[in-house]
């Protein structure tokens, strides 16, 4: 049975979009190609749409995720857009629900490898509140994916909190644990500046597989054998903070804010997508159950009445209809049956001969008498009739006019 989630109605305010169009240019982290990103306002319930260079529109949702290796990649009709998670994380933290992102190449620019440039870009665009409420999701039952040493679990909570454990045998990384209640200010100060990272020993293999071709010390933290090759880290535990940043961005594939406590150990994009898929399936199952229950009750009630009526003998139906006539004095007295005849026996105990009643003897409730229509006259007009109101209401309307 799928875990259940809770629709929390119109909480957490209204949807928002950006106020004006903004652009930024950079290099793709994995493609190494120059790319221009342009963000444009969008209407409520549009969500985040990516538009490729050929005009293909790809919604930023879990159904269009086609690859989770080293980044979140969307795809549709053979067109792909890679590395969307940093922009998505910034949009989630700032509460921007709707915009269109035009990408001139196959990848969102890496910029400095963190979400901070995207936060600055969205702040420069401004925001507009739209007249449609947001629909946050609150967890009622835990949802867990993964196993062994790599897993994620989201549990009920009144706030959005992430507790992340990154346990890597490399001496530079080690075991790092961070727990934060993620709000806009916390994200901007504590998570957004954390940069993506990679290990020097893996660079050759990654580039052979079409990854990290645009990576450099300007847009990533490169980890050597005993230290990082960059000048310094922005946080002592920058590695786990960037993992949390990626998770925030991948959760925004739901298109709705989440209220719950997420506990993570050694996850990545693939497991993040698995959690989003599990939550999406739970939402769909709950939605189907919620809409099917009233329909089943209505259908069951009607079927039960029809079934009871079909098995009721004709004589019993006639007697029941006749006995109900005693409650309605307007009905024909001929349709009423003595109590002795309803029992089927005379007072002496002998069985009364059965006589089938014709339908003509059953009375039908007469139609309620209609109200008497009263004519009214306006000064200087001919007599008119008011077919839908009585004289008192007409007089009231004329007097008020």
Sign of the four-CA dihedral 229, 230, 235, 239: negative
At 151 the three-state DSSP class reads: strand
What b-and-e string marks burial along 208-244, b requiring 16 or more CB atoms within 10 Å of the CB?
eeebbbbbeeebbbbbeeeebebeebebebbbbbbbb
Measure the N-to-C terminal CA separation of the chain; round to a whole number of Å.
64
Rounded Cα distance between 212 and 367, Å, is 83
Which two three-digit tokens encode residue 1?
Answer: 């049975």
Chain centroid to Cα 109, Å, comes to: 29
* Pair of tokens at residue 307: 């079934």
Our answer to whether residue 64 is catalytic in this structure is no
User: Which of 181, 194, 16, 193 has the alpha carbon at shortest distance from 92?
Assistant: 16
Contacts of 107 (CB under 8 A, 6+ apart): 28, 29, 30, 31, 33, 35, 81, 82, 83
Catalytic residue among 30, 86, 269, 273: 269
Sorted by sequence, the CB contacts under 8 Å of residue 292 that are 6+ apart come out as none
- Helices and strands in the chain, H and E counts: 9, 21
User: Which are the contacts of 345, defined by CB distance < 8 A and separation ≥ 6?
Assistant: 351, 352
Could you tell me how many residues make up the chain? 401
Q: What is the Cα–Cα distance from 139 to 260, expressed in whole angstroms?
A: 6
- The whole-angstrom distance between residue 361's C-alpha and the CA centroid of its chain comes to 59
> Which own/partner pairs from 323-328 qualify as long-range (CB within 8 Å, at least 24 positions apart)?
325/363, 328/365
Question: What backbone phi and psi angles, to 5 degrees, belong to 150?
Answer: -135, 115
Q: Can you list the alpha helix ranges (DSSP code H) found in 21-176? A: 85-94, 116-125
The count of C-alpha atoms lying within 13 angstroms of the C-alpha of 284, restricted to the half-sphere facing its C-beta, is 8
Residues that are catalytic: 269
């Amino acid at each position: 049975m799928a875990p259940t989630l809770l629709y929390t109605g119109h909480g957490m305010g209204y949807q928002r979009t950006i106020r004006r169009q903004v652009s930024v240019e950079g290099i793709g982290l994995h493609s190494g190609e120059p790319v221009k990103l342009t963000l444009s306002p969008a209407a409520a319930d549009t969500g985040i749409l990516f538009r490729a260079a050929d005009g293909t529109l790809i919604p930023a949702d879990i159904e269009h995720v086609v690859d989770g290796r080293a980044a979140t990649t969307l795809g549709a009709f053979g067109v792909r857009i890679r590395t969307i998670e940093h922009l998505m994380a910034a949009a989630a933290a700032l509460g921007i629900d709707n915009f269109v992102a035009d990408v001139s190449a196959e990848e969102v620019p890496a910029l400095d490898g963190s979400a901070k440039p995207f936060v600055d870009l969205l702040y420069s665009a401004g925001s507009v509140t739209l007249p449609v409420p947001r629909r946050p999701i609150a967890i009622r039952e835990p949802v867990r994916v993964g196993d062994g040493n790599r897993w994620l679990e989201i549990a009920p909570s009144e706030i959005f909190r992430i507790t992340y454990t990154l346990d890597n045998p490399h001496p530079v990384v080690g075991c790092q644990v961070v727990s934060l209640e993620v709000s806009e200010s916390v994200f901007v100060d504590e998570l957004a500046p954390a940069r993506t990272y990679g290990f020097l020993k893996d660079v050759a293999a990654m580039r052979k597989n079409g990854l990290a071709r645009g990576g450099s010390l300007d847009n990533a933290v490169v980890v050597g054998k005993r230290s990082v090759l960059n000048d310094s880290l922005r946080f002592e535990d920058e590695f786990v903070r960037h993992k949390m940043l990626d998770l925030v961005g991948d959760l925004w594939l739901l298109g709705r804010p989440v209220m719950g406590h997420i506990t993570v150990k050694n996850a990545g994009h693939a497991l993040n997508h698995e959690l989003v898929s599990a939550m999406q399936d739970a939402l769909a199952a709950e939605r189907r159950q919620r809409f099917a229950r009233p329909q089943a009750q209505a259908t069951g009630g009607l079927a039960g009445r029809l079934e009871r009526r079909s098995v009721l003998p004709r004589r019993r139906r006639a007697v029941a209809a006749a006995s109900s006539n005693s409650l309605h004095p307007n009905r024909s007295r001929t349709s009423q049956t003595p109590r002795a005849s309803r029992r089927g026996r005379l007072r002496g105990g002998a069985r009364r001969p059965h006589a089938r009643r014709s339908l003509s003897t059953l009375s039908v409730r007469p139609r309620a008498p209609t109200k008497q229509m009263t004519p009214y006259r306006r000064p200087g007009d001919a007599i008119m009739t008011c077919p839908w109101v009585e004289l008192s209401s007409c007089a009231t309307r004329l007097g008020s006019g």
